[in-house]
Chains A and B, each alone.
Chain A
């Protein structure tokens, strides 16, 4: 389990990193390495160059401006989990961070690496979807911003072009009366989820509004249960209303099974997670 030979580049500025990316069409970016290194060692990828962006300056900031929480792409999962700013502005992200792998993985892994990799079972892409987040991308031509809903396009596939670098991610600062729930089912602590749910919505006047139910580990990318969420708009989170929404999940979510864990079980578990998340949101 040794990687195929590759060249290693460690640029000191994002400009140099972009130049290196442009120069080497078979290059990959290395951030925290928690997914890339195993993939290299298993020879699932054999790039010509590994461009280590871990030392790029000013890419792990946490800041708030104009109602948006901005987090640099090199922010590590452990720092995401520990940040009081994140806890206040986006408690969903903090709740999710605890579920990302094990402490050793969270100590090295970066949020940008996880988002750019777009593993369908990863926690953060679904959170971004639930929160209506956006991704700040830098290329040789400058910066562009992509909505989370448009960013994740498939298994390990995103709107990120191969000569671009994910610079930061932004989510709206938690608005009044909004609440979040993060639930996942994993066989063992720290495992990839069998299935997971990031839920976000406003509880006001006894009803739920603007509810977003973002599932992960269900298909090739995080998925919003649009019909189920819409069915609850303005309604109370009563047992009956929740049950009716759960019944709509089969229209929204089309899970892909995995060995020993079929799509019907997965869909059933999605329903259980919705029930549990919304019951807590109502409490």
Chain B
């Protein structure tokens, strides 16, 4: 089977002589960033700027009996010390719920906590000073009188009668619950061999290289707020700042310049960032807040922390008959605004088993409050859990009936010719390529040889394992993701292209750049669609005063949605340019084309006129054009996916690793990923998205874990103790693609940002279990640390 679909009308717009689609061109910003000339929020210094540092709760749950600010106010350089009640005059509270997650509830959250702190690290007062160091000196001088409150740490007991309720107004600690059932699950489990497993997934976090950062400046004369923000969704934040600070939306300008990584961490309304914006209004001067690494661990959203009890029934012939899951997750004391903390649990219900034909599925998820850092969406939201549960069950079921893990997947993956179709959970699939991807993977990794090597080494007491993980990934979300639930988060995106008088193209887009190369993709698409060389394209992102309204970059949407808006804007601009050129050249515009920045005859490519000349005439010598003609060398187009709520992608990963059964250490030897993100615009950027995603997935599988004690105290909140995955421990990661473009757009691109993270944990845990199979040991705990592996082996108690 070919990996490339036949060229049809889909690709016509991109199948052009100077196409940049499918080419690994360098990112326009890469030279500047590599020279250390990035301009991040902390690099920006404004006149009269002050710095804020926060007094944070040392307790996971404690009442604020009093805050003595006198000494802090006398500390050198301190400008203001502000409590929650004082700041509430400037910033209204919010509630992180969405109507389509029916029943989800949460307590109103203030920018600075007022009566009590509900997690260790929650801000209870702000100290504003001339320098960050002075602000920290001031923080040290603030005296808070606390009364400790009972702590809800363990999600397993959060709903017990004896457990105190964190927010008495809510009645209990239950944030949300959802049940789902399709087919005849009981009959399925009665008919086959059943495997029963419990999976647990530790809390971890995103650890962006650049921490959260905000510089908010209020101009009282105009009533305008300008916010320099390390953020993924500037228009979303524009709306949120306006709403809660009582400003008009057009009076708020959010600028996302260079952003040093996001991973979903920077797509939420953080209380301390809201407080910084409110302080700038209150103090009428620019206020900067840069989260330091210690407060990042205590305030950046955490993710995962799920316990899933799961069963699968399988027939003797390897047919998956039924799947049942019961998920529990703890989300901290508040559902995070505005995307809520129910989405990960919802994704687990929606995604589990959805790559397979099995129609009998029962799922339940329970989302509870607890006194820990709030949880919310982080790269591949829910996917790593759904995939690890599904694929862990498949491997257990395959072992139970004595079938090869590849074969059992072949027998159950939705056939490549079955699309469009709908999964048991109701997800609509336009077109996936599970079988082509699996075949490519088997070939890439030389599966049979690896199995032979594994067998041979077992004889020498070396335990190596192969882990396979098939998965689907939600990308290009429509308004069904957030908008339908009432969140003011744009699912559509816009792109404006303008030809300048020298024949260059200025591209402004609603999607944002956070280091992944979104600007390169926009430049490639623009250059291709208009017909100019890529060096003639300048891309501007992240400024709400400048760019078309859009959602930003998250949920693997930038290339697929922003890219399509650029395709359409590029077509429109080309048409407009050719109208002008047609008049100048006295030719029909339809007979002309634009290639490499020059207008040519479409039929034979003969050079006619440069775009610089078109620009010169249109802008400076319009007197030479007909009086009834007006040139329009700018075009704006918007795009939102319409045919399907989401553009699902698919992929399969494999891990090859060795377990040292004496130490419990795992050595990763090799990792493969085959994925289908539709049209690949920039192979290098896509591959690095996959690799980076795999690394973050491996982080959750083996290393990263926010460890808490029974008092809700984070025990390892520093870069010394929290183990981010590092290069030396990572395997070589080989990436290959199958391309099934979406017909929802002419570009055909789906997302690729989360596939790596979605599949890697499942592949790694499956490989560990495969390695340990001769020892009759199974382990479903993420991260699989040496101690946990030794415990599973019975070496240590």
Contacts and interface: CB of A to CB of B under 8 A. Distances in A.
B728 A262 contact: no
A105 to B, nearest CB: 12
Nearest to A261: B787
Contact of A259 (B664, B703, B715, B718): B715
A259 B718 CA distance: 13
A188 B796 contact: no
Interface string A178-198: 000000010111111010000
B140 A187 contact: no
A161 interface: no
A188 B726 contact: yes
A188 B292 contact: no
Nearest to B703: A187
A217 to B, nearest CB: 13
Given A265-B790, A272-B663, A189 B728 contact: yes
Nearest to A46: B140
A268 B136 contact: no
Given A2-B132, A185-B665, A260-B785, A265 B796 contact: yes
B442 interface: no
Contacts of B728: 188-190
Contact of B726 (A4, A5, A43, A189): A189
Interface in A254-283: 259-262, 264-265, 268-269, 272, 275
Interface in A27-53: 42-43
A269 B723 contact: no
A272 B726 contact: no
B797 interface: yes
Nearest to A257: B787
A262 B788 CA distance: 10
Nearest to B728: A189
B294 A42 contact: yes
Contact of B294 (A1, A262, A268): A1
B787 A260 contact: yes
A39 to B, nearest CB: 11
B662 interface: yes
Contacts of B785: 187, 260-261
A262 B707 contact: no
B784 to A, nearest CB: 12
A3 interface: yes
A43 B53 CA distance: 14
Interface in B676-714: 703, 705, 707, 709
Nearest to A187: B723
Given A43-B140, A187-B703, A265 B786 contact: yes
B221 interface: no
B663 to A, nearest CB: 6
Contacts of B131: 2
Given A188-B703, A264-B797, A4 B137 contact: yes
Contacts of A192: 720
Contacts of B664: 265
Contact of A4 (B140, B294, B796): B140
B133 interface: yes
Interface string B421-451: 0000000000000000000000000000000
B705 A260 contact: yes
A163 to B, nearest CB: 28
A2 B133 contact: yes
A272 B133 contact: no
B136 A43 contact: yes
A259 B796 contact: no
Interface of B: 131-133, 136-137, 140, 292-294, 662-665, 703, 705, 707, 709, 715-716, 718, 720-721, 723, 726, 728-729, 785-787, 790, 795-797
8 contacts: A1-B293, A188-B723, A191-B723, A260-B705, A260-B785, A260-B787, A261-B787, A265-B787
